[in-house]
């Protein structure tokens, strides 16, 4: 999981690269670096004869992008061709030496890479035996040496890069520059890479925001495709070298969508964008009068709706999947949610007509791997994703977009809410097609669709009125935090705890409310607030209030997230209110309060909210 940017054209490449890295830093922030492939540089070295040796000039630093920017103040390479990288470590610690770009011995080839080269050990041994010297612990460093070997054997640059790539196994998006050329060479296999077609040059990025400032015209690359960019041309070829006709798409994301718009953090901006994101998700898909959901993109799937579904997902998306599976079951369609990385190890139950991968990025390696496992068994797959053209969207038989807009903060917020809404739409659409509706059923569908319509306004009300900042300040110094909920609020308890620990670095756990007493209650003290999500006034709410009494009796401070319909407030030290709503939408409202609590605790503690330590926005390794 790293970020790649590349540029060839008429502009100063360094500005483009650093601008792109700023947009990509969410993908990894252990180190950053750039390589400029042409132009002169005052700080350049010279060879024994005193001739300038600068063809590929690399500057790279461990740490966040600011460390690289400081280094570039000291020494600024110039040129109009270059590549850049922001790293999330997989092989070797975050040091200057392990930072990308990596070069060959003479510094004539520079390479950036996202992914894992599985056979790098063998290749490295081979190259060491031939006398190549290595400076880093990374798998990536074999690549410039392989290119160097081909160049030394007389291959022209493009051929050298191609031949080097042919020797790799594993996952990669790779970009390379070679001294003496004004081209950027790139290829992808199992890692994202997008091409940008601009007026003043051509761009490469791990995702579109990397170059959205310059162009919205994009070309999505497929696995195995090879790209050559020069100032005047771009070509895409197949692994065997044949030209591939590519379509240019225009993305409709605003540049504004990828900036902070005055908020201190992307996470807070994205929490506040939820009303808009939810409207987008619903737009044009709901016929409330008829009580129907129309998902044009899933026409083929819905002609013969699945009898049973399985979900695969990770992290926050898994919590959305747990919720989605329950929604399907409530609608009479058997459904189960699996942690994607475990999916292949469990014998899938019978009747799995459709496997649904829930993935914001569409690039999470564990989820992709589970989807591929399903495909290998001949099962149809559907990606519920935010990123158009992502690997999941392209590889699955069907794709449904959650339309949340770009999410930059590592902590998923608006995309979780949008996933819940999208899954509600999906379940109604599948049930539309598979069940002949009786009148009572149709009325219930209409109620649920009306509830979805009300959600954006209700989320806005919470954002305007929340007292989460006060609650956060009161319980900053606690030794641990427990989140509990039942039914649809169980995934929300898990999500509340994940968000909390991810950005506050404090210990937090989420539980089904009834489960706490089976062991974990031993940890509950006056120093461990219990955040209880209690909505409605049904049996589930009553039982959850019973669990709240159990922790209250152990002196734990209770923070109730509630619509006020149960009597949980009697046992609560603090209340985070949500509007009364339909049972299927209340979890999303409760989650908004939990997002705000996590954000404010992290903010008070001075944490790196948008880029929490050790994490990355999308995890493209298994």
- Strand 217-220 vs strand 226-230: parallel, antiparallel, or unpaired? unpaired
359 binds ligand AGP per the rule CB under 6 A:
yes
Respond yes or no: is residue 2 known to be catalytic: yes
Which 576-595 residues touch ligand AGP, going by CB under 6 A? none
| DSSP type of residue 83 | E
Nearest one of 307, 451, 325 to 384, comparing CA atoms: 325
Please say which residue, 366 or 428, places its beta carbon nearer to ligand AGP. Answer: 366
Please say which residue, 189 or 618, places its beta carbon nearer to ligand AGP. Answer: 618
Distance CA 317, CA 320 (A): 5
Catalytic residue among 60, 269, 501, 617: 617
* Binding-site string for ligand AGP from residue 183 to residue 222, where x marks contact by CB under 6 A and - marks none: ----------------------------------------
In degrees and rounded to multiples of 5, residue 442 shows phi and psi of: -60, -40
Please say which residue, 361 or 535, places its beta carbon nearer to ligand AGP. Answer: 361
Element (H, E) at 356: strand 354-359
Which 436-475 residues touch ligand AGP, going by CB under 6 A? none
412 binds ligand AGP per the rule CB under 6 A:
yes
Q: Within 61-171, where are the H helices?
A: 65-74, 120-129, 142-152, 157-166
Six token digits for residue 254: 């605003």
CB 27 within 8 A of CB 90: no
**What minimum distance in Å lies between the beta carbon of 316 and ligand AGP?**
3
**What minimum distance in Å lies between the beta carbon of 547 and ligand AGP?**
26
Please say which residue, 90 or 432, places its beta carbon nearer to ligand AGP. Answer: 90
Nearest one of 185, 165, 174 to 236, comparing CA atoms: 185
321 binds ligand AGP per the rule CB under 6 A:
no
Please identify the residue of the shown chain whose CB is closest to the bound ligand AGP: 315
Distance CA 33, CA 136 (A): 14
Distance CA 462, CA 340 (A): 32
- Taking the alpha carbons at both ends of the chain, their separation in whole angstroms is 10
In degrees and rounded to multiples of 5, residue 433 shows phi and psi of: -80, -25
Respond yes or no: is residue 269 known to be catalytic: no
418 binds ligand AGP per the rule CB under 6 A:
no
Please say which residue, 301 or 320, places its beta carbon nearer to ligand AGP. Answer: 320
- Which of 3, 209, 275, 315 binds ligand AGP (CB under 6 A)? It is 315
Element (H, E) at 484: strand 481-485
- Which of 293, 314, 423, 431 binds ligand AGP (CB under 6 A)? It is 314
**What minimum distance in Å lies between the beta carbon of 63 and ligand AGP?**
22
* DSSP per-residue string spanning 550-595: HHHTTT--EEEEE-S-SSGGGG-SEEEE-----TTTHHHHHHHHHH
**What minimum distance in Å lies between the beta carbon of 503 and ligand AGP?**
8
Q: Stretches 268-276, 354-362, 456-464, 508-516: which one binds ligand AGP (CB under 6 A)? A: 354-362
Catalytic residue among 2, 281, 314, 396: 2
**What minimum distance in Å lies between the beta carbon of 188 and ligand AGP?**
18
Please say which residue, 176 or 410, places its beta carbon nearer to ligand AGP. Answer: 410
Please say which residue, 215 or 316, places its beta carbon nearer to ligand AGP. Answer: 316
Please say which residue, 103 or 360, places its beta carbon nearer to ligand AGP. Answer: 360
**What minimum distance in Å lies between the beta carbon of 315 and ligand AGP?**
2
Q: Stretches 95-103, 192-200, 357-365, 536-544: which one binds ligand AGP (CB under 6 A)? A: 357-365
Residue 489 Cα distances to 284, 408, 544, 579, angstroms: 28, 26, 10, 15
Please say which residue, 356 or 568, places its beta carbon nearer to ligand AGP. Answer: 356
Q: From start to end of 163-232, where are the E strands?
A: 170-178, 184-189, 194-197, 201-205, 217-220, 226-230
Q: Stretches 90-98, 204-212, 229-237, 312-320: which one binds ligand AGP (CB under 6 A)? A: 312-320
- CB count in 10 Å sphere of residue 244: 15
Nearest one of 407, 390, 7 to 221, comparing CA atoms: 390
- Which of 21, 221, 268, 410 binds ligand AGP (CB under 6 A)? It is 410
566 binds ligand AGP per the rule CB under 6 A:
no
* Binding-site string for ligand AGP from residue 239 to residue 278, where x marks contact by CB under 6 A and - marks none: ----------------------------------------
**What minimum distance in Å lies between the beta carbon of 317 and ligand AGP?**
4
Give residues with Cβ within 8 angstroms of 192, minimum separation 6.
114, 173, 206, 207, 363, 390, 391, 620
Which 160-179 residues touch ligand AGP, going by CB under 6 A? none
- Which of 4, 34, 301, 411 binds ligand AGP (CB under 6 A)? It is 411
CB 564 within 8 A of CB 577: yes
Please say which residue, 318 or 482, places its beta carbon nearer to ligand AGP. Answer: 318
Distance CA 287, CA 425 (A): 11
Distance CA 565, CA 535 (A): 7
Size of the site for ligand AGP (CB under 6 A): 15
Distance CA 43, CA 74 (A): 9
- Which of 317, 489, 591, 620 binds ligand AGP (CB under 6 A)? It is 317
- Which of 31, 114, 367, 535 binds ligand AGP (CB under 6 A)? It is 367
Residue 604 Cα distances to 464, 514, 590, 597, angstroms: 20, 31, 22, 11
Active site residues: 2, 617
Residues that bind ligand AGP (CB under 6 A): 314-317, 359-361, 364, 367, 410-412, 502, 618-619
């Amino acid at each position: 999981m790293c970020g790649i940017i590349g540029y060839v054209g008429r502009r100063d490449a360094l500005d483009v690269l650093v601008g792109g890295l700023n947009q990509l830093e969410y993908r990894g922030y252990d180190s950053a670096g750039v390589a400029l492939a042409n132009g002169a540089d005052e700080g350049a070295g010279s060879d024994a004869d005193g001739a300038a040796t600068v063809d590929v000039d690399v500057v790279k630093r461990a740490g966040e992008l600011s460390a690289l920017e400081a280094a570039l103040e000291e020494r600024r390479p110039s040129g109009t061709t270059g590549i850049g990288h922001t790293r999330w470590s997989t092989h070797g610690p975050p040091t200057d030496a392990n930072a990308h770009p990596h070069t060959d011995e003479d510094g004539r080839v520079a390479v950036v890479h996202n992914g894992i080269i599985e056979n790098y050990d063998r290749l490295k041994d081979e190259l060491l035996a031939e006398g190549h010297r290595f400076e880093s612990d990374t798998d990536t460093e074999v690549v410039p040496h392989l290119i160097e070997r081909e160049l030394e054997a007389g291959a022209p640059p493009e051929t050298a890069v191609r031949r080097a790539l042919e020797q790799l196994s594993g996952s990669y998006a790779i970009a390379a520059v070679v001294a003496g050329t004004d081209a950027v060479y790139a290829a992808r296999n199992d890692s994202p890479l997008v091409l940008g077609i601009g007026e003043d040059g051509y761009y490469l990025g791990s995702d579109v925001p990397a170059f959205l400032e310059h162009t919205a015209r994009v070309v999505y690359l497929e696995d195995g495709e090879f790209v050559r960019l020069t100032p005047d041309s771009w070509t895409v070829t197949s692994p065997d070298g044949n030209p591939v006709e590519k379509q240019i798409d225009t993305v409709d994301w605003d540049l504004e969508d990828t900036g902070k718009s005055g908020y201190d953090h992307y996470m807070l901006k994205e929490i506040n964008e939820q009303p808009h994101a939810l409207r987008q998700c619903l737009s044009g898909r709901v016929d409330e009068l008829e009580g129907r959901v129309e998902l044009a993109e899933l026409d083929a799937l819905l002609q013969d709706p699945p009898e049973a579904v399985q979900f695969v997902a990770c992290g926050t998306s898994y919590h959305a999947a747990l919720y989605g599976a329950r929604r399907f079951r409530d609608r009479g369609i058997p459904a189960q949610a699996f942690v994607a990385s475990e999916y292949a190890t469990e014998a899938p139950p019978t009747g799995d007509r459709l496997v649904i991968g829930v993935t914001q990025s569409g690039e999470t390696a564990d989820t992709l791997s589970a989807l591929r496992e399903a495909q290998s068994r001949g099962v149809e797959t559907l990606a519920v994703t935010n990123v158009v053209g992502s690997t999941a969207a392209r590889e699955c038989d069907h794709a449904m977009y959650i339309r949340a807009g770009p999410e930059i903060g590592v902590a998923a917020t608006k995309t979780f809410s949008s996933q819940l809404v999208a899954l509600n739409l999906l379940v109604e659409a599948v049930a539309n097609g598979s069940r002949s509706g009786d009148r009572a059923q149709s009325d219930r569908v209409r109620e649920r669709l009306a509830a979805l319509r009300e959600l954006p306004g209700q989320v806005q009300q919470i954002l305007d009125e929340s007292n989460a900042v006060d609650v956060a300040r009161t319980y900053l110094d606690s030794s641990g935090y427990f989140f509990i909920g039942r039914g649809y609020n169980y995934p929300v308890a898990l999500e509340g705890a994940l968000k909390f620990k991810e950005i506050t670095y404090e210990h937090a756990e989420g539980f089904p409310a009834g489960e706490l007493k089976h062991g974990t209650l031993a940890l509950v003290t006056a120093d461990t607030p219990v955040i209880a999500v209690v909505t409605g006034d049904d049996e589930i709410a009553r039982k959850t209030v019973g669990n709240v009494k159990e922790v209250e009796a152990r002196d734990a401070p209770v923070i109730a997230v509630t619509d006020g319909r149960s009597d949980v407030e009697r046992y609560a030290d603090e209340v985070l209110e949500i509007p009364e709503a339909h049972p299927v939408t209340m979890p999303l409202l409760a989650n908004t309060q939990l997002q705000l609590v996590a954000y404010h605790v992290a903010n008070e503690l001075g944490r790196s909210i948008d880029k929490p330590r050790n994490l990355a926005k999308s995890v493209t390794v298994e």
